[in-house]
Structure 1
Amino acid sequence: MKKISLYIFIVVLLFSCQKEKKKQAEDDILTATSISNGVNVSTITIQNQPFQIQLIANGIVEAVQKSELRFKTNEQLVRLNVSNGDLVTKGQEIASLENSLLANNLEKATIDVAKAKNKFIEEKINYGLANVSEKDMKPAVLKSLKIKSGYFEAENALANAQLLYKQTILKAPFDGVIANVKVKEGFYVSASEVFCTIINPTKLEVVFSILESEYSFVKKGQKITLQSFSNVEKTFKGIISQINPLVDENGLIEIKASINTKDLSLFDGMHVKVLINKPIKDVIVVPKEALVLRSNRKVVFTLENGLAKWNYVTELYENSTHYAIKKGENLKKTDTIIVSGNMNLSHDAKVNAAFINKKQNK
């Protein structure tokens, strides 16, 4: 019985070994075929263009035109015409307080002015100036008649009544969007509290800081790009408008840039990414995926007669997508470089190249 079991074990072992040898032979055939056919790679041609050094900073959006609105008197809120996020135009009524008594005083003052005008006409007639216009009267006589008729006093009372009445109505000082409304109709409003804030969403700027060592990369009037953290695919354009000529205790310089947009998706206080590009000439520009490491040195493969040729390079700068390579080394403009399938390539490896139409430096 033991001999039979031993024979079975030996047969199984021999079968497994033969199967493994067969599989290895098949793999060797496939490998040899792959090597003979070449490695599939993608290539592009180095283009003649400047490299864009990219400076990245975090900034905060601020409204250039922004105002906190307050009532100038204390009273109950009887009408609220807006809510947060509403767009308003200059002069539009935002809210009003209880003012029935002031409205009555205003009406009375208006009537008193009309009475004073009639009295003034009577005084002119009595003085013998019935057909003389005010502009032809002597200033001293005109003033005397208006005082005697009570005209000045009535006009002053009317102006005062109008002022008190207007203090109960809040109007927009400029076109903008309403924010921070926290009260409702019926609430008591105090003159010491901010009722709401109005912001002009079309006049914005971004405030950000750069390192002292980065100062040479910026200048007034330079174009920048903004990227919202809420929508990374959406970008905005801006122009540097101010460079604060001071370095703070952290070694930072404050920069301000005006934002050129009528898009209402940027809010006052919103955090954004600021991208500043500066062109550098006389360098070779290659995509980041073209550069690989060989023996702890940086290498870019070029395509020559169906073979991959490695070239040691010196990296000078980098941005989010590309490297700037020192000019005058192995690479030259118009070379065809390998940008994919290059991770395990060796020098003089046979390759099957597919050319891709890809911009070098965005």
Structure 2
Amino acid sequence: MAGLGIKRFFINKGSSFWKIRFSIIFIWLFSFWGVMTSCSDKKNKEEVSVDKKQYLQEKNDVGIVILERQSFDKELLSNGKLTANQKNVLKFKVDGNLKKLLVKNGDVIRKGQPLAYLDDFEYQQELNSSEISFKKARLEFEDMLVGRGYDLQNKENIPENIYEMASIRSGYSEAENQLENAKFDVNSTVLRAPFSGKVADIKFKEFEQVNAGEEFMSLIDDSVFDVEFNLIESEVNQIKKGEDVEIQPFNTGKGYFGKIISINPIVKENGMVDIKARVQNDGPLMEGMNVKVIIQKNVPNQFVVPKDAVLIRDNQEILFKYQKGKAYWTYIQTIYENSTSYAIIADPNKNSAHLREGDSIIVSGNLNLAHDSEVTVKSTFEPSLAKETQTK
């Protein structure tokens, strides 16, 4: 009996154990299912939210300008280089040691001002000897004429052949020529400015040997510059001598205005034609400076838009027109260009492309627009916007 009781006890105990174990497993499975269901619902909600965002149309703020016909300032552009209207390389005409240098690079000097001296001792000695020889020859010359009975006070009465013969035999002509040469050599030891300007490219220092004909320094008249540039042959017939040009140095961007002074009537092998214009310098322009050259040509009766209005889509030029809260693109072609604007026409190869006076052209906020995008006009520019932009 006792053994039977113990057996029943373990049977009852084992039954309770398995009931508890199954209960725990059921509760764990139910909790796991609940968590997975919750995550799945959340994921589905997020996906639906993302899809809605993808298909939600954005409102784009844009600026517009009313299209009208106006004059367009077409620009012919080129690059050029400044050269001084007057520039000379200065040289001594005699040899010698540089005794004194009176200027430095960049100095502004006036015409006739001495710039440098050579040691002139030997040339002064030669001059003194020439003066003595000349005086001796002149006495001999006068004695010959007096000996022939001619009055030296009335030289006009002396026959020309007699005068010439006496001057040669007495050595008077040769002495006179040597004296002039000696004076020239002495004067040549002083280098003087042939015109007013600025000193540049000094190549010697004091006490160095300078040879005759050797480049010593340059002198530049920088009050006026010539700018040399090129245009392609198809553009040359659009300009003429005396026409205005604008010159902009690359380092400053400031504009200077000049006039075309020459058009070379020869087309080079590369199809370019040499043009030269002249401009006054108020100080900053320098010899050899690289500049941008702009020639403006007025073309009347054009549709003009700012450059920001024109976009490239599918390798074609387009712009967006505004109509009743939406943006519609239309294909166009740019026919003229300047630094800020385009003159445009509707693309003749597209039947759907149209431009009319009074069209509202989107000029800002258009970079990310698509055809039929909803837009909101935040600013409306005056019809003369493009024209005003050209002149800024």
Under a length normalisation based on structure 1, what TM-score does the superposition of the two structures give?
A: 0.76
Q: Distance in 1 between matches of 2:260 and 2:296?
A: 12
The aligned residue for residue 353 of structure 1 is 378
How far the C-alpha of 1:25 sits from its partner, in A, is: 9.7
How far the C-alpha of 1:114 sits from its partner, in A, is: 11
How far the C-alpha of 1:90 sits from its partner, in A, is: 0.7
Go from structure 1 to structure 2 and tell me whether the alpha carbon gap of 1:60 and 1:313 turns closer, same or farther (over 3 Å shift). Answer: same
Query: One-letter code of the match for 1:250?
Result: N
Q: Which residue, 225, 228, 241 being the options, matches 2:261? A: 241
Residue 61 of structure 2 contacts residue 375 of structure 2 at CA under 8 Å; is this kept in 1? no
- Structure 2: unaligned runs, 5 residues or longer: 1-23, 139-148
Query: One-letter code of the match for 2:70?
Result: Q
Query: One-letter code of the match for 1:353?
Result: K
Q: Which residue, 140, 155, 171 being the options, matches 2:157? A: 140
The aligned residue for residue 291 of structure 1 is 310
How far the C-alpha of 1:173 sits from its partner, in A, is: 0.5
Q: Distance in 2 between matches of 1:8 and 1:261?
A: 88
- Structure 1: unaligned runs, 5 residues or longer: 118-126
Go from structure 1 to structure 2 and tell me whether the alpha carbon gap of 1:48 and 1:261 turns closer, same or farther (over 3 Å shift). Answer: farther
How far the C-alpha of 1:228 sits from its partner, in A, is: 2.0
Go from structure 1 to structure 2 and tell me whether the alpha carbon gap of 1:112 and 1:266 turns closer, same or farther (over 3 Å shift). Answer: same
Moved more, 69-78 or 237-246: 237-246
Larger radius of gyration: 2
Residue 83 of structure 2 contacts residue 287 of structure 2 at CA under 8 Å; is this kept in 1? yes
Residue 62 of structure 2 contacts residue 375 of structure 2 at CA under 8 Å; is this kept in 1? no
Moved more, 16-25 or 302-311: 16-25
Q: Where does 1:203-242 land on structure 2 (aligned, <5 Å)?
A: 203-231=224-252, 233-242=253-262
Go from structure 1 to structure 2 and tell me whether the alpha carbon gap of 1:47 and 1:199 turns closer, same or farther (over 3 Å shift). Answer: farther
Secondary structure of the 1:49 match is strand
Go from structure 1 to structure 2 and tell me whether the alpha carbon gap of 1:9 and 1:104 turns closer, same or farther (over 3 Å shift). Answer: farther
Q: Distance in 2 between matches of 1:350 and 1:105?
A: 95
Go from structure 1 to structure 2 and tell me whether the alpha carbon gap of 1:113 and 1:307 turns closer, same or farther (over 3 Å shift). Answer: same
Q: Which residue, 21, 36, 39 being the options, matches 1:10? A: 36
Moved more, 65-74 or 12-21: 12-21
Residue 56 of structure 1 contacts residue 274 of structure 1 at CA under 8 Å; is this kept in 2? yes
Q: Which residue, 164, 173, 184 being the options, matches 1:163? A: 184
Go from structure 1 to structure 2 and tell me whether the alpha carbon gap of 1:176 and 1:295 turns closer, same or farther (over 3 Å shift). Answer: closer
Query: One-letter code of the match for 1:63?
Result: A
Secondary structure of the 2:237 match is helix
Under a length normalisation based on structure 2, what TM-score does the superposition of the two structures give?
A: 0.71
Q: Distance in 2 between matches of 1:294 and 1:194?
A: 60
**Greater fraction helix:** 2
Q: Where does 1:1-362 land on structure 2 (aligned, <5 Å)?
A: 3=28, 6=32, 10=36, 13=39, 16-17=42-43, 20=46, 35=59, 39-46=60-67, 48-103=69-124, 139-140=156-157, 159-231=180-252, 233-258=253-278, 260-292=279-311, 298-304=317-323, 307-326=326-345, 330-333=354-357, 335-343=359-367, 344-347=369-372, 349-356=374-381, 358=385, 359-362=388-391
How far the C-alpha of 1:93 sits from its partner, in A, is: 0.8
Tell me how large the CA RMSD over aligned residues is: 4.5
Q: Distance in 1 between matches of 2:215 and 2:330?
A: 67
How far the C-alpha of 1:153 sits from its partner, in A, is: 8.9
Moved more, 157-166 or 5-14: 5-14
Go from structure 1 to structure 2 and tell me whether the alpha carbon gap of 1:69 and 1:27 turns closer, same or farther (over 3 Å shift). Answer: same
Residue 91 of structure 1 contacts residue 173 of structure 1 at CA under 8 Å; is this kept in 2? yes
How far the C-alpha of 1:24 sits from its partner, in A, is: 5.0
Percent identity over the alignment?
34
Go from structure 1 to structure 2 and tell me whether the alpha carbon gap of 1:251 and 1:296 turns closer, same or farther (over 3 Å shift). Answer: closer
Residue 308 of structure 1 contacts residue 351 of structure 1 at CA under 8 Å; is this kept in 2? no
Go from structure 1 to structure 2 and tell me whether the alpha carbon gap of 1:140 and 1:152 turns closer, same or farther (over 3 Å shift). Answer: farther
How far the C-alpha of 1:242 sits from its partner, in A, is: 1.2
Residue 285 of structure 1 contacts residue 361 of structure 1 at CA under 8 Å; is this kept in 2? no
